[in-house]
Structure 1
Amino acid sequence: MTVIDAETPPRPTSRTGVSVSEEWGGSSLLTQTLALTGRSVRPYLQPGVLIVTFIEPLVMLLMFGGVLRALGDTVAPQGSELSYIAGLAPAIMIITSVAAGAQAGNGLINDLRNDVITRFHTMPISRFGVLLARSLADAARSLYQLIAVAVLAALIFGFAPPGGVPGVVGSILLALFVGWSMSWIFIALAAVLRNGDVLRMITTLCTFPLLFASNAFVDPESMPVWLRVVAEANPISYANDAMRGMVAGQTSVTELLTTVGVSCVLVAVCAPIANRSFRVL
């Protein structure tokens, strides 16, 4: 009996003479992150969503600017020459940015429920890129709201701080970075818990004390002793002081570095936890 060996068909090659499978190494983490970020941002660009996203900072400005105006100078630090709105606008920026960052966890939960994450796990893409894109998408939404806060504060309340445009831009960027770093807390919680109802309760439990037990609306000197200690140790208070310094044209390097340092520590701690938990979903 004669045995005939079937010849293996030649592997397709490119013009360089290298096989196509060997030449193609997949897209980079940057390319994947940009594509996934665009996917996550696309729902935010719908007209209805844009309008609601714009209304949120408008409502906060009108509510806090009107109801809390009676607090007057207690919003700004003692000895500061900032007007009421100049001290209030940075606080609202922080609230807006942290609230947008908290939505990153809910976005990941929604992708889990829709089996989008299951599809991602079957594709040759970076798992960390999926999480990074989720955080960047909500940061992009936050940037839109932060700009809206500054513009609306100027149009409605005459927001014209001594620091001028550079001070306002700097405060927006700092608030954006703080909110982005906070988003990793909720992304990590979403990856670990995988339960939207529990995540929403924890989000409310964390964000409200963090934002209101600070110097955002009241000078800590007027608080009870125990609450003053909490407010003075609260990272959000340092962020508020740093942003108020920027809009006043008197940036404090210590407060700025403290805010950036704490934000970097949050990312360094929470991002690996989120990535490890996300890999075993």
Structure 2
Amino acid sequence: MSTATPTTGRADTAAVRRAIASTERPPRPGRLATALTFGWRGMLKIKHVPEQLLDVTITPVMFVVMFTYLFGGAVAGSTRAYLQYILPGILVMSVLFTTVYSGVSLNTDLTKGVVDRFRSLPIWRPAPLLGALLGDSVRYVLAGTVIIVVGVALGYRPAGGVAGVAGALALVVVFSFGLSWVFSVLGLLLRSPNAVLNGGFLGIFPLTFLSNVFVPPSTLPGPLEAFVEVNPISVLATASRSLMAGRPDGEAVVISLAVAAALALVFLPITTRLYRSR
């Protein structure tokens, strides 16, 4: 049986309040620090569930090996010649496919109630969104690095050297960051992670395969060639090839950056508004 009296309880409460009042309140975290913290949260999720890395390690290797050795002889006459053409395209395709998981991850947090917990914190409201996409950018870099290493091991030799390869990878990552806002909107609109995954790939698959990732547009029928030429993914693949070949196509690079900026400018506010209202 407790021997504490009401007077003792009030005295303890008063002592706690005095201790709290005499301690300097820690400064409120800034916007950048908060966003980076949520980006690190994404890295920790990979640490605890390493199976998430399968889509950025095993899958890109399968793409490079399968397309090079299945279609290389038929398309370019030799696997070595086709590898020089297709590897920048596979780099673009694999990294863009990874952006779909940005929407899946956001939808998972939403359906599990994690987003409600974030809203209760005294932080900058868009920080969880921005941080998650910054964390996903690390996945994009990892996927691109795996593809380049595998390509070099198979015989790919970029004439642009390390600088050209780094420029192409940076361009693809920037474009993917802009595109990931589109899938974030999808993640906030649909009801389940599976729906986001299926809907995302339903959109990205046709655009990727109806591009110059696998074959030159000149080999396609007239109407299809016209579409492929203006497809933003084709432009991005052309820019990446030019950088890795040491002959930068300034127009393609600028268009790719402009499309990435336009996607972010249009879909970032939509994502933020949906995030606040859900």
Q: What range describes the TM-score normalised by the shorter chain of this pair? A: 0.7 to 0.9
Q: Is 1:127–1:278's contact at 8 Å kept on the other side of the alignment?
A: no
Q: Is 1:90–1:244's contact at 8 Å kept on the other side of the alignment?
A: yes
For 1:93 and 1:125, how far apart are their aligned partners in 2?
36
For 1:126 and 1:261, how far apart are their aligned partners in 2?
27
Structure 2, unpaired ranges of 5+: 1-16
Match in the other structure for 2:7: none
Once the two structures are TM-superposed, the CA of residue 138 in structure 1 deviates from its matched residue by 1.6
For 2:127 and 2:136, how far apart are their aligned partners in 1?
14
Q: Would you tell me which structure has more helix in proportion to its own residues?
A: 2
For 2:223 and 2:272, how far apart are their aligned partners in 1?
36
For 2:81 and 2:244, how far apart are their aligned partners in 1?
11
SS in 1 for 2:212: coil
- Pairs within 5 Å for 1:252-263: 252-263=249-260
- Pairs within 5 Å for 1:185-200: 185-200=182-197
For 1:35 and 1:87, how far apart are their aligned partners in 2?
39
Match in the other structure for 2:47: 45
Match in the other structure for 2:70: 67
For 2:54 and 2:197, how far apart are their aligned partners in 1?
23
For 2:180 and 2:276, how far apart are their aligned partners in 1?
19
**What amino acid maps onto 1:28 in structure 2?**
G
Please give the TM-score of this superposition, normalised by the length of structure 2. Answer: 0.86
**Runs of 4+ in structure 1 over 6 Å off:** none
Aligned with 1:86 (options 75, 84, 87)? 84
CA RMSD of aligned residues (A): 2.2
Structure 1, unpaired ranges of 5+: 1-8, 15-19, 76-81
- Please say which of residues 267-276 and 134-143 is displaced more in the overlay: 134-143
SS in 1 for 2:248: coil
Once the two structures are TM-superposed, the CA of residue 71 in structure 1 deviates from its matched residue by 4.0
Q: Is 1:74–1:217's contact at 8 Å kept on the other side of the alignment?
A: no
For 2:98 and 2:219, how far apart are their aligned partners in 1?
29
Match in the other structure for 1:121: 119
SS in 1 for 2:21: coil
Please give the TM-score of this superposition, normalised by the length of structure 1. Answer: 0.85
Match in the other structure for 2:11: none
Match in the other structure for 2:270: 273
